[in-house]
Amino acid sequence: MEPMLSVKQAASALGISVSTLYRMVDEGAIRKLKVRHRTVFERTEVERYIKAQRAEAAAAPRATGIRTDGTSKRAVVLLSGGLDSATALAVAKDQGFACYAISFRYGQRHVIELEAARTVAETLGVEAHVEAEIDLRLFGGSALTADIDVPKHDSADDLDDGVPITYVPARNTVFLSFALAWAEVLKADDLFLGVNALDFSGYPDCRPDYIHAYEHMANLATVRGTEGHRLHIHTPLINLTKGETILRGVDLGVDYALTRSCYDPSEQGESCGHCDSCLIRLRGFEENGLTDPAPYVQQAETV
């Protein structure tokens, strides 16, 4: 009998959190076993899932931003200034879209990401970049928008299960609504979002089911949708691990030194190295034998 993988080992092999792994089990995406009241996974089962996900991604038709007359379609790209959104923007540019970037000042403590977003937008060359101001501190409920400590850990292996306190209630729904409004004005039928379902987060608004549901709603809620202009929400990173996302961005020439992902940076804009976002980012670079070029106060152990 082949060696069984523990829950943590299986989650690590898949590049996801333990909570995400259990959700995948509940959804029937991957099978678990019970051995002496202990949950374990077959190594071949984990490898089967990884192979299937990559085959699905490879078989998916490549989106193109070029019309039949050779002109570029317009796309609105949600740009936070972090690693994932910068990569999503690079993918949209690579596919030929004329990109319009939208960022949000929503009362987040890590406002340094907005400076990064401006630099990334300028460097990658967008048609326009806007910053929408909304204040989600009115509701709080998150370590990013309220007086709640950002959780810190020594290693990515120590990340907590479940939805972390850094989840901002309904944030992606609010952001996508702003992006959808601008897309209508621009007569753009494509939105790009750098969410990820295989990486650690546990955020409910990063799941494929949520994206599909929002896309369906958007096509019912807009004039362009009722006139037959179908809106598409592109999530090119949704089935990639952080390490795979970084490789994709490197291939596309993304300068990750310009991006910031930390939830609790120093006053000088240095990443803390110990929040969930820093740890996952650091592990992604380490998996590829690369050094994260972003500045850190103190880099944490990632494996």
Segment 99-127, tens digit of pLDDT: 999 999 999 988 899 999 999 999 999 99
The yes/no answer on whether domain 74-287 falls in CATH 3.40.50.620 is: yes
Angle at 83 between CA 86 and CA 143, to 5 degrees: 120
Which residue type sits at 271? S
Of 59-68, 136-145, 196-205, 206-215, minimum mean pLDDT range: 196-205
pLDDT at 303 over 50: no
Torsion of CA 265, 270, 274, 278, to 10 degrees: 90
Task: Render the burial of 14-28: b for 16+ CB within 10 Å, e for the rest.
Answer: bbbbbbbbbbbbeee
Just give the CATH number of 4-59. Answer: 1.10.1660.10
- List the chain domain ranges: 4-59, 74-287
The predicted model scores a pTM of: 0.83
